[in-house]
Amino acid sequence: MNRTKPETPDSETTDETLLRTDDVTKKFGQLTAINDVSMSIPEGEITSIIGPNGAGKTTLFNLFTGKYEPTSGQIRFRDERIDGMAPHDIVDKGVVRSFQITNFFDDLTTRENVRLATQAQYSGFGASDFLRHYTSLDGAVDDAEAVLERVHLLDVADRQASNLSYGQRRHLEIGIALAAGPDLLLMDEPTAGMSPEETLDTVELIEEIASDTTLVLIEHDMDIVMDISEFIVVMNEGELIARGDPAEIRTDDRVQRAYLGGE
């Protein structure tokens, strides 16, 4: 495998690197889910992580966001180690994820789902956080409105989240992540299960978000990946097998064999 490594990680670490992994390995008992992955996510771009099922893409997200701790290796965000940090501390640093399976507060309204997320930046354990009414936390309320507008959910803001349509639920999922104030937003299959129309809508949203946020996508739809990514990382069986811009990936032999060729 070694010979296929395009560059050493160091050569690629530039001022624009936002997140970087060095020789990260994650094992679950006997199973090696991520094997010695070194990669870097450039700031201000859309990076896609692709690869067949079981390639370790979601595990990688779980490592970035602190759900799992790497068995070995390091993860750095803005040159600060974040592996081993608690998930909420990593969010504070600016790394936020959205989930593949819609994962929010079904019984709350759309607005309250988003507001709860924006609130994290305004409240803590001060006296006023216990004694004031939650709707009087103006910053959180205003931010929530802005996010709702951005993900086009203002119309249904008062609807209970479980009553939203599938496409709206997926947008809310992204909205909650946005509300947490990410510098780096990790999106796990944002278009999965969507109709062509919904997909188009979501792609538009992604590109809009990318105007001020660094994005990493896990995405299966190759057309979308090739269309919107500036940088692509290809995983297979827990290993990084290639990376480059869409044109390079399209023509990469190993990628063809491991992934694209099979389809």
Partner 1 sequence: MREIVAMFDPRRTSVGDSQILTSRGRLAVFGLIVLLGVLGPVVAIVEPYWLYILVQVLVFALLALSLDFVFGYAGLLSFGHAAMFGAGGYSAALLITEVTPNALVVLPVAMLTGVAVAAVIGWFSVRSRGIYFAMLTLAFAQMFYVAAFADLPATLLGVESITGGDNGIYGIALYELIGIDLSDRINYYFLTLLLVALSLAFLVRLANSPFGRVLQGIRENEERVAFIGYDVRRYKVVGFAISGGFAGLAGGLYVPFQSLAHPQFLHWTVSGELVVMLLLGGMGTLWGPMLGAASVIILEEMLGGIAAWEVILGGIFVVVVIFAPRGLAGVLISLKEDPRNALTNAKNAIENYVRKVRGKS
130 touching partner 1, by CB under 8 A: yes
147 touching partner 1, by CB under 8 A: no
Q: In angstroms, what is the minimal distance from the CB of 120 to partner 1?
A: 4
Distance of alpha carbon 34 from its chain centroid, rounded? 17
Q: In angstroms, what is the minimal distance from the CB of 233 to partner 1?
A: 22
Q: Where are the beta strands (DSSP E) in 134-256?
A: 184-188, 214-218, 231-236, 239-244
DSSP secondary structure string, 212-237?
Answer: TSEEEEE---HHHHHHH-SEEEEEET
Provide the phi-psi class of 23: left if phi over 0, else alpha when psi is between -120 and 50, else beta.
left
Using only the alpha carbons of the chain, give its radius of gyration. 19
Q: Which is nearer to partner 1, 72 or 165 (CB)?
A: 165
* Residue 170 token pair: 């997926």
141 touching partner 1, by CB under 8 A: no
Residue choice 37, 140, 185, 241 for contact with partner 1 (CB under 8 A): 140
> What is the C-alpha to C-alpha distance for residues 109 and 175, in angstroms, rounded to an integer?
13
Q: Which is nearer to partner 1, 66 or 238 (CB)?
A: 66
Q: Which is nearer to partner 1, 31 or 131 (CB)?
A: 131
Site for partner 1 in 67-126 (CB under 8 A): 86-89, 91-92, 96-97, 99, 103-109, 111-112, 116-117, 119-123, 125
Residue 88, judged by CB atoms within 10 A of its CB (0-12, 13-18, 19+), counts as: exposed
Q: In angstroms, what is the minimal distance from the CB of 55 to partner 1?
A: 22
Q: In angstroms, what is the minimal distance from the CB of 151 to partner 1?
A: 15
> What is the C-alpha to C-alpha distance for residues 256 and 233, in angstroms, rounded to an integer?
14
Q: Which residues bind partner 1 (CB under 8 A)?
A: 65, 86-89, 91-92, 96-97, 99, 103-109, 111-112, 116-117, 119-123, 125, 129-134, 137, 140, 160, 176-177, 179-181
